[in-house]
Chain A
Amino acid sequence: MTLLHGFVLGGLEVGAVSLAAPLFNGIIRKGKARLQGRAGPPLFQLYYDLRKWWGRGEQAAASVSYVHWAAPYVFLSATAGALLLVPIFSSAVPLDAQGDLFVLLGLLALGRAALTLGAMDSGATFGQMGSSRELALGALIEPLIVLTLIAPAVAAHSSTLSGIAAFGNQQGISVLTLGWLLAAAGFLVVLVAETGRIPIDNPDTHLELTMIHEAMLIEYSGRSLGVLHFAAALRQAVLALLFVNLFFPFGLVAHPGLGGYAGIAALDVLKLVVVALAFVVVEMLFAKMRFFELAGLLGTAMLVAGAAVAVTVVLA
């Protein structure tokens, strides 16, 4: 991929996913409300909220430093950078020749660093509490991400996400071997954990003591808060896209042509709606787990991912 091609595709992908990400969030909220017998907020509620936050002034603690102001933008750009490594409109990704899944891992960690440092900047107890929990979870999630992505990568003999997606598309349905499916199952836990959803975290909570992600935003207001919420919605969409287009990359070709891009985009939307509905069902069926029991859940997922790697190595 030439630099110009990458630049154009990257711009399009960042723009399109940015536009769609709040809607993805809206579908989950609406679906959940409906299943609970409530009317729920409008589908486009997050767009209204974002416009409100972005246009408002900010209140910040007297004790904050530059970290507080920089953190939301670093979190946002790290998430957007991760997006540039994920196959979305074709199996080829904008940063094809500049990064791979290890860079994706690094960018997710960079986002986590920005979020946790920003939360600790004011000295607010709740922010530090959120950071403490997020860091502990992050330490367990990172090996989980690597193990779940490594199994398909070993099968595809490539550590780039485009290489894995192209391999999966080329193999067709026969790519869904035991190792591949176990890895996908493990990645589902990553998806839930990284997007702060039940049973790991509760995005709708308003009780400080139970929060993880929301606690880290507690000292933010106005535009910075809007940027953080937007980046979180973007991260949710990016990880969902990573899940569907990496483990089920059917139809993703490297050079689809104009009509092909549109077709893949429509397929992406369909896949995302399915994932959103899956989120809704999970949130309906499970309660949030106690924080100190999460190590068990993540440990189990890690065992599943380890099994995926072992099966892939032995059978492939």
Chain B
Amino acid sequence: MSSVWLIVGLAGLVAAAGAAPVPKRLSLWMTAAASAILATGTVLLVTEGTTVQIALWSPAPYMHLALRFDALSAVFALGIGVVSAAACVFAVGYSRPRAADDFALPIFVLAMVCVVAAANVVTFLFAWEAMALSSFVLVMGDGLARPRRMAAVLYGGMTHVATVAVTGAFFIVAHAAGSQDFARMSAVGGRLSPALASVAFLLAVAGFGTKAGLVPFHVWLPRAHPVAPSHVSALMSGAMVNTGLYGIIRVGAGFLGPGEAWWGVGLMAAGCLSAVLGILYALFEQDMKRVLAFSTIENVGIMTVAIGAALTFQAHGLDALAAAAMVAALLHSLSHGILKAALFLGAGAVQRTTHTLSLDRLGGLARTMPVTGAVALLASLAISGLPPLSGFPGEWLLFRSLFVLGGEPVGALTRMAALGALGAMALTGGLALACFVRLSGISFLGLPRSQEAAQAHDGPWTMRLPLLGLGAMALAGGVAASVVIRAVTPAGEVLFGQRGVATSGASQRIVDAGGGALSLLVVAAALALTAGLAWLGLRLYFGATRVERGPIWSTGVVFRPSMQYTATSLSKPLRSFFSRVLLPERRVVTEFHAGSPLPKVVHYSGRVPPIIEERLYHPARSLAIWSARRVRGLQNGSVQLYLLYIVGTLVVLLVVTQ
């Protein structure tokens, strides 16, 4: 049954691309419908417990384009389908019609699904490139604005360098397997020497990590994600980064696992770095979508830590615990996709009515845009990992996994690394809370900081409906977590032969392989009960309160909206706490009245510099340009010289091969 849904969904995406020139945004509606059908198909596939194979095309010998949906592919395809359905409906009311975009969007979604469902290396790389090119088109848009062109080119360049690394990893694994079929490539790591397997693993992490936005390969992400239209940003942050994580999981755990013990620990370290740096930089951005892009880097870091924990368990033969950690990663990827989509779409709704994304020009939007505001507030709480919302179960499973790893007999250093990662994850959680209270508090609460914000309003129903749907999922994903987990655990079985997390009954209780139990439904009920009883008790005993509206307390002077905290001042304490890491720059120049000690004008400028870009990428770029200049001498345009090179190369080759 699921195969029919999947095929109809895939065909629908192809048809949607063909419908791009049709007016009334038909292609968007078709993409949304096809995505929803695909998502349904993946859920059916998991409940049926089957694997679906779809042969697409064999244009040449050794080149079979084919798809294979197993439980792991299904989880990722489900995330892509849900985010895409919401984003495409939103786009109907949000985006301006443009045939190139309406063509590239379904292709982009189709390519992402094909990446996570590819049955062999050729299909994977084909879909991988189609995904890169179609998203490049979407980021570039009309290409009129210079930042957009720069971001798109940087993205295009980095993603192609990443493809080289990915191809290298596949080459090593496929060579050892003697086949480029994914089904035959699974668990071939044992046939490789530890050194070669490690090279393949590192290539995979570098290549896929670039797509996922893992520090230090992240520099394109905070540029490309924000400049794209919001529904595309939602797809890139909510769905595309997951394809990178899928690659790391498929190659690291599926093909090469069980691998070396240090792989997982290294991955945990890289994840912690991404998570902490990602959220720290998010805290000092002034642009709503840039904050969200940096938060994507943070969440990719969190998922990478979970994958690292799974690989560590796997390397030590603790498969059930490995599966539990992997469920944490997958659950977090689904939840992050939904929440990041909600927040990016919310940002799009804000931008459409206020024409700005600068936090310092917003304020009070919860009252002027009730739907967008409520969903953005809820998603902010959920993405900070607060119970009982959808961000919490994945985070809880990850915390539990790291804690259990810290207690297993896997060596004192590994145990301390796991517990250190746990501390880093808690720090990330605290910083994420600060970041999202700042984001939602500055833009949706308080008083409007500009005329545009004061006159803001919600978008048409096509924009409100997807937001409400995603908001409902943010709530349901928490209190009904065991329903989602049941869809995710078969993926653990594909990789490790174990489910890792058990679910039980009406209380939505989940029990991980280490014996820890959680029921967010009961926790939520306890919260609702105490809050409700307190409210009711006070009302019954003391009666209803009379509310008088008055001015804001501002030590006796008349309050003006400009007296509010700005986005910069709100995160100032953290900027100073972390100044050793962030190296913030601050310049204050005071001009005085002539011959007077009284200041006339004070110029202030401050920024948190992107350290990794300035210390790592800029020198690398300078080196590349410098060496290109040196090499230019070889090329002076003379045909005779080129012939000399060819003859010389020929002679050298002949000598070498003799």
Contact = CB atoms under 8 A, between A and B. Distances in A.
A136 B423 contact: no
Nearest to B363: A123
A145 B386 contact: no
A125 B387 contact: no
Nearest to A302: B423
Given A95-B526, A106-B385, A159-B403, A143 B427 contact: yes
B603 interface: no
B553 interface: yes
Contact of B509 (A60, A98, A113, A143): A98
A133 interface: yes
Nearest to B442: A120
Interface stretch (A28-36, A170-178, A217-225, A259-267): A217-225
A38 B396 CA distance: 48
Interface residues of A, number: 85
B231 interface: no
Contact of B545 (A57, A77, A129, A306): A57
B548 interface: yes
A228 to B, nearest CB: 12
B530 interface: yes
A21 interface: no
B522 A67 contact: no
A47 interface: no
A66 B378 CA distance: 13
B555 interface: yes
A49 interface: no
Contacts of B528: 77
B422 interface: yes
Contact of B364 (A63, A132, A295): A63
B179 to A, nearest CB: 43
Contacts of B561: 123
Interface in A65-85: 65-67, 73-74, 76-78, 80-81, 84
B545 A56 contact: yes
B433 interface: yes
B600 interface: no
A77 to B, nearest CB: 4
Main secondary structure, interface of A, reads helix
A232 interface: no
B343 interface: no
Contacts of A150: 403, 406, 419, 422-423
A219 B552 CA distance: 7
A146 B422 contact: yes
A128 B433 contact: no
B68 interface: no
B278 to A, nearest CB: 14
B542 A54 contact: yes
Given A59-B550, A106-B392, A84 B526 contact: yes
Contacts of A227: 534, 538
Interface in A115-165: 116-117, 120-126, 128-129, 131-133, 135-143, 145-147, 150, 153-154, 157, 159-160
B424 to A, nearest CB: 7
B381 interface: yes
Interface in B542-577: 542-543, 545-555, 559, 561, 563-565, 569-574, 576-577
Nearest to B373: A65
B526 A117 contact: no
Interface string B369-397: 00001000100010011110000100110
B480 to A, nearest CB: 15
A40 interface: no
Bin chain B's interface residue count.
35 or more
Contact of B517 (A98, A138, A139, A223): A98
Interface string B499-510: 000000001010
Contact of B574 (A131, A139, A218, A310): A139
Given A63-B552, A135-B437, A77 B403 contact: no
Nearest to A156: B407
A142 B430 contact: yes
A310 B437 contact: no
B577 A136 contact: yes
Contacts of B420: 306
Nearest to B386: A110
Contacts of A103: 387, 396, 518, 523
A55 B519 CA distance: 36
B441 interface: yes
Contact of B415 (A135, A291, A313): A313
A196 to B, nearest CB: 16
Contact of B547 (A57, A146, A291): A57
A45 to B, nearest CB: 19
B527 interface: yes
A150 B404 CA distance: 11
A69 B516 CA distance: 35
Contacts of A14: 530
A97 B517 contact: yes
A154 B419 contact: yes
Interface string B416-445: 100110111111011101100110111001
Contacts of B62: none
B573 A57 contact: no
A116 B424 CA distance: 23
B446 A63 contact: yes
Nearest to B432: A139
Given A59-B548, A63-B364, A223-B538, A153 B576 contact: no
A113 B433 contact: yes
A310 B377 CA distance: 39
A99 B552 contact: no
Contacts of A306: 420, 423
A314 interface: yes
B399 interface: yes
Given A63-B446, A109-B386, A136-B573, A125 B565 contact: yes
A146 B426 contact: yes
A61 B552 contact: yes
Contacts of A159: 399-400, 403, 516
B553 A219 contact: yes
Contact of B403 (A110, A154, A219): A154
10 residue pairs, one from A and one from B, having the closest CB atoms? A142-B430, A123-B446, A136-B573, A139-B430, A57-B546, A128-B565, A77-B531, A135-B434, A120-B441, A146-B426
7 contacts: A55-B543, A56-B545, A99-B517, A132-B571, A137-B573, A146-B425, A150-B423
Given A139-B427, A309-B416, 6 more contacts: A60-B548, A100-B518, A113-B381, A154-B406, A159-B516, A219-B552
Interface of B: 363-364, 366-367, 373, 377, 381, 384-387, 392, 395-396, 399-400, 403, 406-407, 412, 415-416, 419-420, 422-427, 429-431, 433-434, 437-438, 440-442, 445-447, 507, 509, 516-519, 522-523, 526-528, 530-531, 534-535, 538, 541-543, 545-555, 559, 561, 563-565, 569-574, 576-577
